[in-house]
Chain A
Amino acid sequence: MRQRLAALGLLGIPLLTFPLLGLPGGSWAGIPASYLYLFGVWALLVIAAAWVAERSGK
């Protein structure tokens, strides 16, 4: 489990820093794409972590 979580962390670092962060531009349904991207990726990362951490039992 620790290794899977660490892999998520290593995946999160490039996803949540530049230059990838510079990609989303414009807006979607009136909300800036940068805002959606940041919170979207962040929330997905948290959900994935929850899935990994809670799935493996005691």
Chain B
Amino acid sequence: MLSPGLILLVSAAYMGLLFAVARFGDARADAGRSIITANVYALSLAVYCTSWTFYGSVGRATSGGLSFLTIYIGPTLMLLFAGVIVKMIRIAKTQRLTSIADFIAARYGKSQLLAGLVTVIAVIGIVPYIALQLKAVAASLDVLIGKEGAGYLPAMFDSTLIIAALLALFTILFGTRHLDATERHEGMVAAVAFESVVKLVAFVAVGLFVTYGMFGGFAELFQRAAATPGLERLLQLDSAKAGTWAALILLSGLAIIFLPRQFQIIVVENVDESHLRRAVWLFPLYLVLINIFVLPLALGGLLHFQGQTFNPDTFVLTLPLARGAETLALLVFIGGLSAATGMVIVETIALSTMVCNDLVMPWLLRTRRFGVAEREDLSGLLLGIRRVAIVAILLLGYIYFRAAGEAYALVGIGLISFAAVAQFAPAVFGGMYWKQGTHAGAVAGLLGGFAVWLYTLLLPSFAKSGWIDKGFVENGLFGIGALKAQALFGLAGLDEISHSLWWSLFVNIGLYVAVSLWSRPDAVEAGQAERFVDVFKHAGRGTDARLWRGTASAEELVGLLDRFLGRPRARQQLANYAAGRGLDDWRSLPVDAEFVRFAETQLSGAIGSASARVMVASVAKEEDLGLDEVLDILDEATQVRAYSRELEAKQQELEAATAELREANERLRELDRMKDDFISTVTHELRTPLTSIRALSEMLHEDPEIDVDDRTRFLGIIVNEAERLTRLINQILDMAKLESGRAEWTTGEVDVAAIVREAMDSVGQLFRDKAVALEGEIPDSVPAVLADRDRLTQVMINLLSNAVKFVAGGSGRVKVRVVAGERALRVEVIDNGPGLTPEECVVIFEKFRQGGNTMTDKPQGTGLGLPISRQIVEYFGGNLWVESSPGAGATFVFTVPLPAHE
């Protein structure tokens, strides 16, 4: 057995280390270099795993098999709904809300009644939970020291009391160092994250030791358990417990955000919303890891201690001790200690803030007996109250632990606490997403739910411990069977937790919704509902400024801040605020609604939103706006938001329309430019033949002496040029007709093969003159197509005469192919001329663009043939294009679609 002295020394050393970590965290925070990273934040969330997890899970697994996992699956699923949590964080930050009580009270009109009610529920629900932690530490000490070690200290030095005192000291040192408007404690968070690592390491170590050191691994352990009567059922999932399973997941999912310590860590201690990104998976991963060995440990304990009586809650300690692994047992003890201390510290801070802000301060400010309202500096008093509250809460926990001992009321408290804080869910979720939820509804729901919880869960647990008469559980209140505490109205067959959760949430939600719908909020409440529900899109300053009307003096407001925050801190916040509004000196700040709101927010961080409102109202002359006016202002704000959204949409539409118009204008300009180009090109083309005709005619006219040969030659040229001119004018007219859609078409069934042959015959002389070979590959009969016979002939002749122009005389070859495809007839004119570059393949279809170099060569055509041909082919639904590359000849192809099959 380990010596008591060594254990105390190690415990003291561990606590010392904790102090050092917290000190370091605070020092770094003061220096402005926070050590709260996303990882630290995520790990600090594991304060959820208390000694109830560390020791109790194994105990639960020995009786319920895998059902203990529900307590950890619930939080995993809840964290995935990160949007809800981000919204809570954002609301709490903008309003400086520092506890769950403050959160609920602020939403429902900064009500002192609600704040007090939530605080009372939390204290009643949580103090026994703190007692359970102290008990766990005491029990683990007993196991470690053993019977012979008992009496190592005089009875007055109770080891649990010492630990409680140390915890109180720690909490006071790191939880109430100074009054921070944000109520953030970085040192404490760092220490809690450190503790999370310690307990995980300790638990995994003992898990590995038992699974692989004492047994031959997972498979052997499970197989031996399966072969042992009574243990095999722990390996199965009992579908008869489906209801309990779901209820526990819901319960633990709610607990992960509504337990005061979890709210403190997740919401209040959050430094940066983006840290949640890490916590969403790192904390669940932590839960997976710490739970892997729970069932193996439970089975290992049951197998190892078969036939002996051992408390399964201490298996994690007794198993290593049974093998003499004392160092490991000591590590496990430290792990359990860290689980207990982490929970106690954070829970106590959260509760003390609530007790101070929501119970004691409102009372002190109201009773004039202590002259609190007149005191100069209240920051010291505030810290004093919190310290006293910390000591009182821990003392209460200690007394409860001593009084309850082994009683059921302590052992089962974990889930009972969960069910108590689950009562906050309707008021919080309703408040965040439902503007109609009212103060009266929240009070009714909370009171109803709390009463049902008390009657169906807490009081029966007292009865089971033998503290009060069992009559109301067994026979019902006043002997009425329908009022049996754990089978209310005959609802039997559920376990006590599911039963209580079902009834309490039923009453809670029912009252909250019904009373909310039947009551009207007051002016403050309506404003707060807007700020909570629309926190992400809240217009902010403008509306806030209009929601408060009245007069206040800067001196009195600053005086208020001085009194509650302490002078130096108040001045620092004022300076920051002034800088935020672009002023050098806070004394020049205008005392407007925004300033009043700033003061109230600052105060609310220190004394809670309800008290802050009362204090500000006491120095400022407020005008009562009345509910209708407030609702009008809020409606207006909503409308303004809607209008601005509409305006934005309109503006976007306008921009799109402008862009379209610009594009259309661009196209028009392009067309205009093209038209100009066309006219200048046409005049140029017409002038060339005219010029030569005129020049030659003048020569003939002025010089009658010219000899006959020359005269004949000149006249030949004139005739040629005049023909060219006529052709050109005809084609331009043709083109203009085609483009304007006024061309005449006589469409009928035509035989393309016949047209191609005729065209080849009619241009045959041209080919023979230039000695170019022309061959055809034309089927005897091709399907008839719908087209204009003369027009198609025109296209064919144009393509053939182009081909003969560009091939070399003598060696030139032109081949015509007609192919009947499935959908269309395809006509190809293949030459072995110089070919075309890819750019030319495109431009030759533009008007007045000719093949070859137009700058040096004499133009060989009008430059209108191909554009006209293309227009014609496209009119019949076909295509005309060219496939070519330089030096490889060119293939002009056009298609004419076949009539659709019947």
A-B interaction = yes
- Taking Cβ atoms with an 8 Å cutoff, the residues of A that contact B are 1-3, 5-6, 8-9, 12-13, 16-19, 21-22, 24, 27, 29-32, 34-35, 38-39, 42-43, 45-47, 49-50, 53-54, 58
Contacts A9-B77, A35-B295; is A2 near B235 (CB within 8 Å)? no
B86: chain A residues at CB < 8 Å are 2
B292 touches A39 (CB 8 A): yes
A17 touches B281 (CB 8 A): no
A17 touches B242 (CB 8 A): yes
A45–B83 Cα distance when bound, in Å, is: 18
A56–B237 Cα distance when bound, in Å, is: 37
Say if the beta carbon of B477 comes within 8 Å of chain A: no
Contacts A13-B77, A30-B223; is A49 near B280 (CB within 8 Å)? yes
Distance in Å from the Cβ of B65 to the closest Cβ of chain A?
A: 8
B80 touches A9 (CB 8 A): yes
17 A–B contacts, CB within 8 A, in A order: A2-B86, A5-B80, A5-B81, A5-B280, A6-B83, A13-B77, A17-B242, A18-B242, A31-B218, A35-B222, A39-B288, A43-B288, A45-B80, A46-B284, A46-B288, A49-B281, A53-B278
List B111-146 residues whose CB lies under 8 Å from chain A.
none
B274: chain A residues at CB < 8 Å are 58
B83: chain A residues at CB < 8 Å are 2-3, 5-6
A49 touches B239 (CB 8 A): no
For B261-302 the 0/1 string (1 means CB < 8 A from A) is 000000000000010011011101100100110010000000
Say if the beta carbon of B246 comes within 8 Å of chain A: yes
A17 touches B80 (CB 8 A): no
A2–B295 Cα distance when bound, in Å, is: 34
Name the residue on A nearest B225 (C-beta).
Answer: A32
* Other-chain contact of B76, A31, A32, A42, A58 (Cβ < 8 Å): A42
Contacts A12-B77, A53-B278; is A31 near B222 (CB within 8 Å)? yes
A31–B66 Cα distance when bound, in Å, is: 13
A53: chain B residues at CB < 8 Å are 82, 277-278, 280-281
Say if the beta carbon of B236 comes within 8 Å of chain A: yes
A3–B82 Cα distance when bound, in Å, is: 9
B239 touches A18 (CB 8 A): yes
List 3 A-B pairs, minimum CB-CB distance, nearest first. A30-B219, A9-B80, A18-B242
Distance in Å from the Cβ of B67 to the closest Cβ of chain A?
A: 11
A19–B280 Cα distance when bound, in Å, is: 26
B284: chain A residues at CB < 8 Å are 42, 45-46, 49
Distance in Å from the Cβ of B87 to the closest Cβ of chain A?
A: 10
For B17-31 the 0/1 string (1 means CB < 8 A from A) is 000000000000000
* Other-chain contact of B222, A12, A21, A32 (Cβ < 8 Å): A32
Give the one of A3, A38, A46 with max B CB within 10 A.
A46
B631: chain A residues at CB < 8 Å are none
Distance in Å from the Cβ of A52 to the closest Cβ of chain B?
A: 8
A5 touches B246 (CB 8 A): no
For B225-256 the 0/1 string (1 means CB < 8 A from A) is 01000000001110100100110010000000
Distance in Å from the Cβ of B341 to the closest Cβ of chain A?
A: 27
List B418-449 residues whose CB lies under 8 Å from chain A.
none
A19 touches B239 (CB 8 A): yes
* Other-chain contact of A17, B218, B223, B226, B245 (Cβ < 8 Å): B245
* Other-chain contact of A50, B81, B220, B285 (Cβ < 8 Å): B285
4 new A-B contacts, CB < 8 A, other than A22-B237, A39-B292, A42-B76, are: A2-B86, A9-B77, A45-B76, A50-B282
A2: chain B residues at CB < 8 Å are 82-83, 86
Say if the beta carbon of B792 comes within 8 Å of chain A: no
Contacts A31-B219, A46-B284; is A21 near B237 (CB within 8 Å)? yes
Say if the beta carbon of B69 comes within 8 Å of chain A: yes
* Other-chain contact of B235, A17, A21, A32 (Cβ < 8 Å): A32
B278: chain A residues at CB < 8 Å are 53-54
The number of A-B residue pairs with CB atoms under 8 Å apart is 109
B218: chain A residues at CB < 8 Å are 30-31
A45–B280 Cα distance when bound, in Å, is: 11
A3–B281 Cα distance when bound, in Å, is: 15
Distance in Å from the Cβ of A10 to the closest Cβ of chain B?
A: 8
Contacts A22-B237, A30-B219; is A16 near B281 (CB within 8 Å)? no
B76: chain A residues at CB < 8 Å are 12, 42, 45-46
A18 touches B245 (CB 8 A): yes
Contacts A35-B222, A38-B69, A53-B277; is A17 near B249 (CB within 8 Å)? yes
Contacts A6-B81, A42-B288; is A50 near B281 (CB within 8 Å)? yes
Say if the beta carbon of B73 comes within 8 Å of chain A: yes
A54: chain B residues at CB < 8 Å are 277-278, 281
Name the residue on B nearest A56 (C-beta).
Answer: B277
A16 touches B73 (CB 8 A): yes
A9: chain B residues at CB < 8 Å are 77-78, 80-81
A26–B626 Cα distance when bound, in Å, is: 68
A34: chain B residues at CB < 8 Å are 66, 235-237
A16 touches B292 (CB 8 A): no
Contacts A6-B83, A54-B277; is A22 near B77 (CB within 8 Å)? no
B222: chain A residues at CB < 8 Å are 27, 30-32, 35
A21: chain B residues at CB < 8 Å are 237, 239, 242, 245
A58–B242 Cα distance when bound, in Å, is: 40
Name the residue on B nearest A45 (C-beta).
Answer: B76
Name the residue on A nearest B277 (C-beta).
Answer: A53
Name the residue on B nearest A9 (C-beta).
Answer: B80
B246 touches A17 (CB 8 A): yes
Name the residue on A nearest B242 (C-beta).
Answer: A18
Name the residue on A nearest B282 (C-beta).
Answer: A50
Distance in Å from the Cβ of A49 to the closest Cβ of chain B?
A: 4
A45: chain B residues at CB < 8 Å are 76, 80, 284
For B50-73 the 0/1 string (1 means CB < 8 A from A) is 000000000000000010010001
A9–B78 Cα distance when bound, in Å, is: 7
A31–B211 Cα distance when bound, in Å, is: 13
Name the residue on A nearest B238 (C-beta).
Answer: A22
B239: chain A residues at CB < 8 Å are 18-19, 21-22
B78: chain A residues at CB < 8 Å are 9
Distance in Å from the Cβ of B315 to the closest Cβ of chain A?
A: 18
B219 touches A49 (CB 8 A): no
A27: chain B residues at CB < 8 Å are 222, 226, 235
B236: chain A residues at CB < 8 Å are 32, 34
Name the residue on B nearest A6 (C-beta).
Answer: B81
* Other-chain contact of B77, A16, A32, A47 (Cβ < 8 Å): A16
Distance in Å from the Cβ of A54 to the closest Cβ of chain B?
A: 7
For B197-239 the 0/1 string (1 means CB < 8 A from A) is 0000000000000000000001110110010000000011101
Name the residue on B nearest A47 (C-beta).
Answer: B281
B237: chain A residues at CB < 8 Å are 18, 21-22, 24, 34, 38
* Other-chain contact of A8, B73, B80, B235, B245 (Cβ < 8 Å): B80
Distance in Å from the Cβ of A5 to the closest Cβ of chain B?
A: 5
A22–B226 Cα distance when bound, in Å, is: 18
A39–B218 Cα distance when bound, in Å, is: 14
A32: chain B residues at CB < 8 Å are 222, 226, 235-236
B277 touches A16 (CB 8 A): no
Name the residue on A nearest B249 (C-beta).
Answer: A17
A35: chain B residues at CB < 8 Å are 66, 222, 235, 295
B246: chain A residues at CB < 8 Å are 17-18
A53–B281 Cα distance when bound, in Å, is: 8
Distance in Å from the Cβ of B247 to the closest Cβ of chain A?
A: 10
Name the residue on A nearest B244 (C-beta).
Answer: A18
Name the residue on A nearest B72 (C-beta).
Answer: A42
A50–B279 Cα distance when bound, in Å, is: 9
A57–B223 Cα distance when bound, in Å, is: 46
Distance in Å from the Cβ of B509 to the closest Cβ of chain A?
A: 19
A13–B246 Cα distance when bound, in Å, is: 9
Name the residue on A nearest B239 (C-beta).
Answer: A22
Name the residue on B nearest A11 (C-beta).
Answer: B80
Name the residue on B nearest A10 (C-beta).
Answer: B80
Name the residue on A nearest B217 (C-beta).
Answer: A30
A27–B219 Cα distance when bound, in Å, is: 10
A5: chain B residues at CB < 8 Å are 80-83, 280
